[in-house]
Amino acid sequence: ETWGTTIQQVAEVLNSPEFIAYLEHLTGISGLIADPSFEGGGMHQTITGGFLNMHADFSVHPHHRHWSRRVNLLLYCNENWLPEYGGDLELWTRDMKRCEKRVAPIGNRVLIFNTDADSFHGHPDPLTSPVGVARQSLALYYFTEEDAPVVHSTNYKARPDDGAKRVLIYADKKALQAFDWAKRRFNLSNDFAGKVLGVADKLRRKRK
């Protein structure tokens, strides 16, 4: 309801049976399932100075335990995005030794890629856009139904030259594992699980 009419209509098209059929033809993956709840997806925004560390995405829908995540679609919603703002999505090799591709988040560009245990991607360098100019995208994820899908949470990885930042990336990884466990164990929404973990983190800090 907060997206606006145009974004809602676009999301409906991207989740439609006709578009799913196109994705199946494009990727060669049959039986794709759209997620009307947009779990982990929807509108994403990164403000000036923000970043997203390299990672491979969670593998199974937290509320549909037989849904294995297979395809990501990112639609960039950035008008007049300039190269000096940064924010390119980096796609790295499975062994995280080199960046294979950079994709600038220019408006109306769509990026579709398979997602698995080692499809590492992110925009790990802080944005240098002017204050008030955010990096925005609409993210949709598609699944297939599997009898026994392999479950793993979002897996953050450091780049070879990340240095001391590796410690923070490892901490992020552990926090996301706790977040994912809470959602699956108690069937929680993103908002509620985030609030619970936030309170727990504050209590932990007070004890130090």
The domain segmentation of the chain, as residue ranges, is: 5-165
Tell me the C-alpha distance between 36 and 124, whole Å.
29
| 5-165 to CATH, choices 2.60.200.20, 3.30.460.80, 3.40.50.970, 2.60.120.620 | 2.60.120.620
What confidence tens digit (pLDDT) does each residue in 165-190 have?
Answer: 999 998 888 887 777 777 777 776 66
Mean pLDDT of 131-160: 96
**DSSP string covering the chain:** --S-HHHHHHHHHHTSHHHHHHHHHHH---S-EE-TT-TT-EEEEE-TT--EEEEE--SB-TT-TTEEEEEEEEEE--TT--GGG--PEEEE-TTSSSEEEEE---TT-EEEEE--TT--EEE-SPP-PPTT--EEEEEEEEEEE-SSPPP---EE---TT-TTHHHHHHHHHHHHHHHHHHHHHHT--HHHHHHHHHHHHHHHHHH-
What confidence tens digit (pLDDT) does each residue in 30-56 have?
Answer: 999 999 999 999 999 999 999 999 999
